[in-house]
Amino acid sequence: MTVAGLGPYDPDNIFARILRHEIPATMVFENEHAIAFGDIAPLAPTHVLVIPRGAYVSFADFTARAGAGEIAGFFQAVGTVATQLGLDAPGYRLLTNIGDHAGQEVPHFHVHLFGGRPLGRMLASS
């Protein structure tokens, strides 16, 4: 089920619960701006989700309401995760879905980090 990329934040979404340590996750990174953990249904050999600690529904919400330091800190965390996972040299893909048309499933802003094999075209032909 997809969710709207704008609208109220649901404090009981699965990522909010992971942030509160109510649900276990395979953590790969944690700092004051973000956490990163393995996707439970990976689509590549490396498939990690990076989420900000703040309550943001989507990229649109995050860039509208977060401060410059929080935005910079989050994206530095994404880069650090990619580097720590050894993805810089072979390459990787970042993806974020915003709203129904993109297929956003969790109403908490997150970035998918994919790597570990050639990833092909950005979008499949329909």
Q: Where are the beta strands (DSSP E) in the chain?
A: 27-30, 34-38, 46-52, 92-95, 111-115
Query: Looking at 33, 47, 101, 110, which residue is catalytic?
Result: 110
Element containing residue 68 per DSSP (H, E):
helix 68-84
List of residues 6+ apart from 39 with CB closer than 8 A: 47, 48, 49, 112
Give catalytic status of residue 110 as yes or no.
Answer: yes
Query: Which are the contacts of 22, defined by CB distance < 8 A and separation ≥ 6?
Result: none
CB atoms within 10 A of CB 65: 13
**Catalytically active residues, by annotation:** 110
